[in-house]
Amino acid sequence: MRIGIVCPYSWDVPGGVQFHIRDLAEHLIRLGHEVSVLAPADDETPLPPFVVSAGRAVPVPYNGSVARLNFGFLSAARVRRWLHDGDFDVIHIHEPTSPSLGLLTCWAAQGPIVATFHTSNPRSRAMIAAYPILQPALEKISARIAVSEYARRTLVEHLGGDAVVIPNGVDVDFFARAEPKQEWQGGTIGFIGRIDEPRKGLPVLMRALPKIFAECPGTRLLVAGRGDEEEAVAGLPREMRERVEFLGMVSDEDKARLLRSVDVYVAPNTGGESFGIILVEAMSAGAPVLASDLDAFAQVLDQGSAGELFANEDADALAAAAVRLLGDQDLRTGLSERGSAHVRRFDWSHVGADILAVYETVTAGAASVAADERSGLRARFGLARD
């Protein structure tokens, strides 16, 4: 099958959606499919052979933060050329509502289009204003995928229609087989995420920390992620600060080893999560997981049976749960075993098969993808070339 995948965000900037697309493309190529990914990228960035650059993304303030987006004639022309050269059986657009490549492709293509909705953003003002423009493009999508039941609910509320739920994939064995590192073992709590991003919840964990350290002497906290380390520990009593270790940005291998080593992985995120890939990775590595009870997290953790949940933003609840987990080896082993069994459904072998099933469902009984000539003025008067 010839598959075209559209990535809306810059390939050179690491991010959840980009990693998902990279892994999906590699998985599909291993199965013998032809895959081409269209992504914004600087012309000089080295790209994997399956990625086609759609030009540099322009930083624009959008929806409260600075987003790097692709639009304008040049990008539209590159999208058309890619569609024309690729001759795809199906195209798979990620985040079709962001004003970038996804929307341009929706506008320019016809035929079987699959779209994945990653975020569960509440409807923004821009989207309400753009709704009449967005709708004709979005109604070309033959199949919608939401990454979680939560993302599906927001999608149904804001755009109408329906979607199938297919979670993000993880290479479970990569994490399960990683070698634990001795210096990260022995009474350790793990946290991975941006330090200076309050939504990732490190401040909540920091508030809970004095209680945890007081009840469990010898416990350490390992933090992997970018941000200001001084500021992060500023609220902590001085004598406790050395029990917090900052590892900075870690490689994929080190991330897997860290998750294999820690006694408890804590995800205190306070909101804005539509899936929670890090929980899946932690479960793959067999780490007992303690997470805030966000809708998306509760679903990934099977409503608390594959990992412990605590009331969101409640530092005392977090501390109590962490102390209970750190003091009870049997509880941790049980969680780890249930997590490892539950996580199999997120492995690429399952997720990839489901995504392929969607491709096959939409391509059955439909022509292949082509550039949509009907959207041009010339076509309106019957002048379009074939």
Residue ranges binding another protein (CB under 8 A): 110, 112, 135-136, 139-140, 142-144, 160-165, 167, 345, 350-351, 353-354, 357-358, 360-362, 364-366, 374, 377, 380
Contact 276, 300 (CB under 8 A): yes
Cβ-based nearer residue to another protein, 270 or 368: 368
Cβ-based nearer residue to another protein, 253 or 360: 360
Instruction: Report CA-CA distances (Å) from 146 to 91, 96, 297.
Output: 16, 12, 15
User: What's the closest the beta carbon of residue 94 comes to another protein, in angstroms?
Assistant: 18
Cβ-based nearer residue to another protein, 108 or 258: 108
Phi, psi of 64, deg, nearest 5:
90, -10
The angle subtended at Cα 99 by Cα 40 and Cα 114, nearest 5°, is 80
Instruction: Please give the biggest Cα pair distance in the chain.
Output: 79
User: What's the closest the beta carbon of residue 150 comes to another protein, in angstroms?
Assistant: 14
Q: Which residues pair with 264 in a beta bridge?
A: 189
User: What's the closest the beta carbon of residue 142 comes to another protein, in angstroms?
Assistant: 6
Rg (CA), the chain: 22
Cβ-based nearer residue to another protein, 39 or 280: 280
Cβ-based nearer residue to another protein, 147 or 236: 147
Cβ-based nearer residue to another protein, 150 or 213: 150
User: What's the closest the beta carbon of residue 158 comes to another protein, in angstroms?
Assistant: 14
User: What's the closest the beta carbon of residue 139 comes to another protein, in angstroms?
Assistant: 4
Of 268, 270, 263, nearest to 192 by C-alpha is 268
User: What's the closest the beta carbon of residue 138 comes to another protein, in angstroms?
Assistant: 8
Cβ-based nearer residue to another protein, 136 or 327: 136
How far is residue 372's CA from residue 360's CA, in Å, rounded to a whole number?
Answer: 22
How far is residue 247's CA from residue 137's CA, in Å, rounded to a whole number?
Answer: 45
User: What's the closest the beta carbon of residue 167 comes to another protein, in angstroms?
Assistant: 6
What would the DSSP string read from start to end of 204-223? HHHHHHHHHHHHSTT-EEEE
Q: At what angle do helices 16-30 and 348-363 cross, to 10 degrees?
A: 80
- Both tokens assigned to 108: 């320019």
User: What's the closest the beta carbon of residue 372 comes to another protein, in angstroms?
Assistant: 8
- Both tokens assigned to 358: 């969607």
Cβ-based nearer residue to another protein, 161 or 237: 161
Q: At what angle do helices 329-342 and 277-284 cross, to 10 degrees?
A: 110
How far is residue 172's CA from residue 347's CA, in Å, rounded to a whole number?
Answer: 6
